[in-house]
Structure 1
Amino acid sequence: MDEWQARVESDFAYREGWVYLQSAGAGLAFPGAAEAAGQYYRDVALLGCDAQPSWRQAATGAKQRTARLLGVSEEEVEFFRNTSEVINLAAASASWHPGDEVVVAADDYPCNVLPWANAEAAGVKVVRVQPTAPSTREQQLLEAITPRTRVVSVSHVHPWTGTMLDLNRLGRACRDVDALLVVDGIQALGAVPVDLSYVDVYGAGVFKWLMSGFGTAIGVFRERAREALTPIFRSYGNPAPSTSFSYAAPNFPGLYVLDATLEYLEDLGWPNIFARVEQLTGEVLTALDGIGVASITPRDVRAGIIALDHVGDSALVAHELRQRKISASDKAGRILVSPHFYNTPEDIARFAEALSDVLVTSSPSLSG
């Protein structure tokens, strides 16, 4: 065992004897997260309001580390409560004109579809693309873009098929018609490299692949978005004519955790983390091939989620896997497997063995 893997394994003491494959639902916290959260409350207990310099230091650290990870300026990074808040802020801050169109995928996560309902009520046409297959998802979205498109709102990684979109390709198509590209990045950030060169609004909660708990989300509003959108919420954080969308104090305890976690992940090395996720998802696909189970996640555009369809009763399969101490997700009638860097090839082998056993021993129940 190399030193890097030994360190990781010692830092993530998940339940003994279990395999955790639900990082797309919630990432495991590293040991320093509890200490970081506690430090905020110790600071306040000792200093009260005079602890503000420490709050600001944690927020600044988290902002700087996030900016490095995303390749954007610190001024473009803000913090919100969740991904949905970021997307809703973008949707509610737009000015619409007759004939405007918004392109979404009809099967996308609700926060990428529902925020545009008010625009639709105002006469905007919301084009709901119905992807016919994971492999055609991106092309169908591209084909829906017209000169009337003002916004394309998508998940970087579709949560129920694991399909990853090429944001540069989509973004260039948006630029061609002067549209904004709004991206929900929660299922990508921390699992794969993210390039925001052609993204205008980006939102990502930090409780999944960034392993930093609920109540905090990263929001990036780039120059084109700040020129096109007028912040719908105003308060002491962004009085007019500010173009900032951060209108009030962020979740400072959460930023203590995020800053500490990002420092830990930087020390492990983002290239190492991304390579590990790619390796493990590849091993999942190979293992599935070995037991004759198909994945609907395209191999060449995957991130951290591998989705299994046609396994019968997915709820029953997930239950039976848990009986074998394998934690996997049951979502949208599919089994989702989402290893992170703290998983091992042995974890993947155990999952495949358990799944094969479940499908064989429970086949009458699974088939109907």
Structure 2
Amino acid sequence: MDTWSASVARDFAYREGWVYLQSAGAGLAFPGAADAAGQYYRDVALLGCDAQPRWHRPLQGARQRAARLLGVPEEDVEFFRNTSEVINLAANSVAWHRGDEIVVLADDYPCNVLPWSNAEAAGVDIVRVQPTAPSRREQQVLEAITPRTRIVSVSHVHPWTGTMLDLNRLGRACRDVDALLVVDGIQALGAVPVDLSYVDVYGAGVFKWLMSGFGTAVGVFRERAREALTPIFRSYVNPAPSTSFNYAAPNFPGLYVLDATLEYLDGLGWSNIYARVDQLAGEVFTALEGIGVGSITPRDARAGIVALEDVGDSAAVARELQQRKVSASDKAGRLLVSPHFYNTSEDIARFAEALADTLATPR
């Protein structure tokens, strides 16, 4: 084991003898996370309200680190409660005109579909694209964009097929018709490089690939979005005419954790992290081929999630894998595996062996 891998292995003390392949559900916390969260409460216990300068430091640190990670100005980055809040803020801040169109994928995660339903009362048409295959998702969205399109709302990585979309390609198509591209990035941020050059609104909770717990999300509203939208929520942070969508205090304990986690991940090196996720996802494909199991996820449009083809009763298979000390996901009637950089090639081999044994066992 190389030095980098050995260091990572020491930092993630998952249950001994188990294999964890559910980072798309919740990432493992690194050891410093607990102390970071506790530090907020120690600060407040010691100083009360006078601790405000202390709790604003991790806010600024997390903003700076997130801005660097996403390649955007710091003023574009704010923090919200979850991905759904970011998408809902965008969806309810548009001045609609009858005949406008919103393009979504019908099988996408609910936070990319449901927030736009209020617009229908204003005479807006919601174009619900029914993807015919995972490899066709991106092209079918492009084909649905028309001069009437005001918004395209998608997941960067589809949570149930693992398919990754090309945001630059979609964003350029949106610019051609003066539409905004709104992106749910929760299954991408921390697993793959993210380029927001043509993205207008981006939301990503931090409890999955950024391993920083629930209650905090990165929200990015680019200048183009701030010019086109009027914030639906106003409070002491963003009184009119502010164009900021941040309206109240963020989750400060969560930001202590996020700042510490991003510092840790910066130290590991994002290029190393992305390369390891890509390597391990590739090994999952190879291992599946070796035991005669197919995958739904397109190999050339993947991130960290690999969705398996029909394995029968996926819930039963997931339960039997648990009996073999392998933790995988059963979602939307599919078995999903999602290795992160803290996994190893040995973990993938253990998973493949356990899956082969499970499928060979009469149920």
Q: TM-score, length-normalised on structure 2?
A: 1.00
Give the distance between the partners of 2:309 and 2:299, measured in 1 at CA: 15
Give the distance between the partners of 2:55 and 2:237, measured in 1 at CA: 16
Give the distance between the partners of 1:309 and 1:131, measured in 2 at CA: 17
- Structure 1: 4+ residue segments shifted above 2 A: none
Cα contact 1:163–1:303 (8 A) shared by 2: yes
Q: State yes or no: 1:167 paired with 2:195.
A: no
- Secondary structure at the aligned position of 1:39 is classed as helix
Give the distance between the partners of 1:221 and 1:311, measured in 2 at CA: 41
Cα contact 1:79–1:246 (8 A) shared by 2: yes
Give the distance between the partners of 1:37 and 1:28, measured in 2 at CA: 15
Give the distance between the partners of 1:302 and 1:105, measured in 2 at CA: 18
Which residue of structure 2 lines up, in the alignment, with residue 120 of structure 1? 120
Which residue of structure 1 lines up, in the alignment, with residue 83 of structure 2? 83
Q: Which runs of 5+ in 2 are unaligned?
A: none
Q: State yes or no: 1:320 paired with 2:312.
A: no
Which residue of structure 2 lines up, in the alignment, with residue 189 of structure 1? 189
The 5 Å alignment of 1:1-368 reads 1-362=1-362, 365=363
- Secondary structure at the aligned position of 2:127 is classed as strand
Question: Deviation digits for residues 50-103 of structure 1, max 9, x if unmatched?
Answer: 000111101000000000000001000000000000000000000100110000
Give the distance between the partners of 1:304 and 1:243, measured in 2 at CA: 35
Question: Deviation digits for residues 297-323 of structure 1, max 9, x if unmatched?
Answer: 000010000001210000000000000
Instruction: Look up the equivalent residue of 1:264 and give its one-letter code.
Output: Y
Give the distance between the partners of 2:239 and 2:4, measured in 1 at CA: 47
Cα contact 1:318–1:328 (8 A) shared by 2: yes
1:120 Cα deviation after fit: 1.2
Q: Which runs of 5+ in 1 are unaligned?
A: none
Q: TM-score, length-normalised on structure 1?
A: 0.98
Question: Deviation digits for residues 303-359 of structure 1, max 9, x if unmatched?
Answer: 000001210000000000000000000000000000000000000000000000000
Give the distance between the partners of 1:337 and 1:171, measured in 2 at CA: 29
- Secondary structure at the aligned position of 1:204 is classed as strand
Instruction: Look up the equivalent residue of 1:136 and give its one-letter code.
Output: R
Give the distance between the partners of 2:29 and 2:336, measured in 1 at CA: 20
Give the distance between the partners of 1:162 and 1:249, measured in 2 at CA: 34
Cα contact 1:29–1:212 (8 A) shared by 2: yes
Q: How many residues align?
A: 363
- Secondary structure at the aligned position of 2:10 is classed as helix
Give the distance between the partners of 1:306 and 1:272, measured in 2 at CA: 20
Instruction: Look up the equivalent residue of 2:173 and give its one-letter code.
Output: A
Cα contact 1:59–1:255 (8 A) shared by 2: yes
1:122 Cα deviation after fit: 1.6
1:169 Cα deviation after fit: 0.1
Instruction: Look up the equivalent residue of 2:227 and give its one-letter code.
Output: E
- Secondary structure at the aligned position of 2:349 is classed as helix
Question: Deviation digits for residues 163-189 of structure 1, max 9, x if unmatched?
Answer: 000000000000000000000000000
- Secondary structure at the aligned position of 2:198 is classed as coil
1:130 Cα deviation after fit: 0.1
Instruction: Look up the equivalent residue of 1:230 and give its one-letter code.
Output: T
Give the distance between the partners of 2:299 and 2:247, measured in 1 at CA: 41
- Secondary structure at the aligned position of 1:208 is classed as coil
For the aligned residue pairs, the C-alpha RMSD in angstroms reads: 0.4
- Secondary structure at the aligned position of 2:98 is classed as coil
Question: Deviation digits for residues 190-220 of structure 1, max 9, x if unmatched?
Answer: 0000000000000000000000000000000
Instruction: Look up the equivalent residue of 2:301 and give its one-letter code.
Output: V
Cα contact 1:105–1:128 (8 A) shared by 2: yes
Give the distance between the partners of 1:247 and 1:90, measured in 2 at CA: 13
Give the distance between the partners of 1:88 and 1:258, measured in 2 at CA: 23
1:154 Cα deviation after fit: 0.1
Cα contact 1:200–1:222 (8 A) shared by 2: yes
Give the distance between the partners of 1:196 and 1:55, measured in 2 at CA: 28
Give the distance between the partners of 2:112 and 2:220, measured in 1 at CA: 16
Give the distance between the partners of 1:331 and 1:40, measured in 2 at CA: 35
Cα contact 1:100–1:148 (8 A) shared by 2: yes
Cα contact 1:309–1:333 (8 A) shared by 2: no
Give the distance between the partners of 1:245 and 1:310, measured in 2 at CA: 43
Question: Deviation digits for residues 131-171 of structure 1, max 9, x if unmatched?
Answer: 00000000000000000000000000000000000000000
